Structure formats: C-alpha cells, structure tokens
Chain A
Amino acid sequence: MTFMDDAELERLYDCYAVGLFQYFLSFTQVEADARDLLQDHFVKLARNGKCLDGVRCEKAFLFRVAHNQAIDWCRRVALRRRKASEIPEPDCGRLHDPDAGQFRAQVEEAMASLPDLQSSVVQLRLWGEMSFDQIAEIQGISANTAASRYRYGIEKLRQALAPIYREINE
C-alpha cells in the first residue's frame, strides 16, 4: 500500500473538498453525514497514493469515487430526510438581502425534496459546472439519462420555488 504525499492530499482537498462536500450533501441532506463521507473519501485517497496515476481527469475520477461512496452510504443507511428546519443554514453567501436568504433556504428545502439521483445531477451540473458527459462518467449512466434527470430535477425545483422566485423578481 502506497500512501499519498501530504502536500498532494492537501492540494486535492483545496481543489475539491467544497464540491465533494456539496455532492455528498445532495445525498445525505445532513451536514454531519456529508462530513463523514468527505473524511472517508480523503482517508481512502491517502491510503491509495497511486490511485491518480494514469487518470485522465482527476475531478471526474474523484467525483466517481464519491458517487460510489454516496450510493454505498444510501444502501447502508435507511435514509430519512430531515425536515427543512433541520437542514443547516449555509455559513456564508453572496446574496445578503432577506429575500435572497429566504430564496436560498427554500432552494435547500427544494433540493432536499428531490430524489437523490436528480439532486446529485443538479448539484454537479449547476454548482459543479460539469457537462452531462462528465456527470454520465461519474455516475455510470448515459449522458441522455443525466440530462433527463437534470431536466426533471430542474422542473421540480422550478415548481417548488416559483412563488418566491416570482416574488423576488417582481
């Protein structure tokens, strides 16, 4: 077993921890569980120092590993969605007015109400800025499936957020 160099591990954390955490959170809906998965992810990386050798796109590779972890987690744990009030409030934001804060809280609630595989695709597409091809590679599905899950997810978000979105934009 070859351990990963500490500096390399830190670089990967700096580059991908935020995205990976949000990806895990799209499955767990609970910050503590997402943190546990993030920690497991980096422990696995540290213990497989050569795992990135020959990898074409390290971002896609890391998210594919994360996806498998998240699916394992979902299988192990009887997932109980927390109520919207229990979803952690984001620590910081670019939007500071009350309407935007309310919108953000409702986005979290609406994301939590989506099926895991839709919310994870929406997370990767919207906030991870990935293409459907990359998402397909990460999740082991076709690009068409990824696109259709995204469309379903966005439509549900649109319906759930329509009242407040209209209110903000009027």
Chain B
Amino acid sequence: MSDQFEQALTRIDRPQPDPGWKSEILSLASAPEQSRRRPILKLGLAACWLVIGALQIAMPEVDDDVVAGREPAPTSVAQLSSLYLLASYTKEIESYD
C-alpha cells in the first residue's frame, strides 16, 4: 500500500524521450534489412558471372553437332541453367532498387 509520499512521487513526470527520436530509431532499426540483403544479392550475381566464365573455360567450343555437320544447339544445359540463375538474381535485385 503506497503512502502519501509515494503518491506524490507518482505525480512527478519523469524525463521523456524526445518525440523526434521515434522516426530516427525506427528507421535505424529497420534499415539493416535492406542494407544486409543487397550485398548478398550482389554477391550472388557476381557468383553467377563466375560460374558462366568457368563453364566457358571448362567446356570449350567442341560442338558435336558442328562436327557432324548438323545445326548446332543454341546452348548447353549447363549454360542455360547459369543464365536462368543470372536472370533470377537480376530480377530480384531490380525489385529492391
């Protein structure tokens, strides 16, 4: 049970946070989400380019279709999957910009 002195204390207003802090703190609190995702996506894009480059080096130009005199296929399966990955990453990055 509180006495008169304690009741007098409860009527005292304690220091309040500045009203301007709200927007600053909330924007700081939610900022890491975007700033954290973007570098990951850019890293993913760079990794795709590396994969494509590596595939081009590892699977050079001997094309059985050309050797056999047939019309060559447009791209190999590996190249197509790399291009698909690249396209998805690019699309995702664009959605954040």
Contact = CB atoms under 8 A, between A and B. Distances in A.
Interface residues of B, number: 23
A9 B5 contact: no
Nearest to A110: B9
Interface of A is mostly: helix
A104 B12 contact: yes
Contacts, number: 91
Interface in B1-60: 5-6, 8-18, 21-22, 24-26, 28-30, 32-33
A109 B31 CA distance: 37
B17 A38 contact: yes
Interface in A130-170: 154, 157-158, 161, 165
B25 A38 contact: yes
B16 A90 contact: yes
B28 A39 contact: yes
A18 to B, nearest CB: 6
A94 B16 CA distance: 13
Contacts of B17: 17-18, 21, 35, 38
Given A21-B16, A91-B16, A9 B11 contact: no
A154 B13 contact: no
Given A46-B32, A47-B32, A126-B6, A38 B21 contact: yes
Given A42-B25, A93-B13, A165 B32 contact: no
B11 A165 contact: no
Interface string A10-38: 10010001100110010000010001001
Nearest to A162: B5
Given A17-B21, A89-B15, A95-B11, 5 more contacts: A18-B16, A90-B13, A104-B13, A127-B14, A161-B5
28 contacts: A3-B33, A9-B26, A9-B30, A13-B25, A18-B17, A21-B17, A38-B25, A39-B25, A39-B29, A42-B26, A42-B28, A47-B32, A89-B15, A90-B13, A90-B16, A91-B15, A92-B13, A93-B12, A93-B13, A100-B12, A108-B15, A126-B6, A126-B9, A127-B10, A154-B6, A157-B9, A158-B5, A165-B5
Interface of B: 5-6, 8-18, 21-22, 24-26, 28-30, 32-33
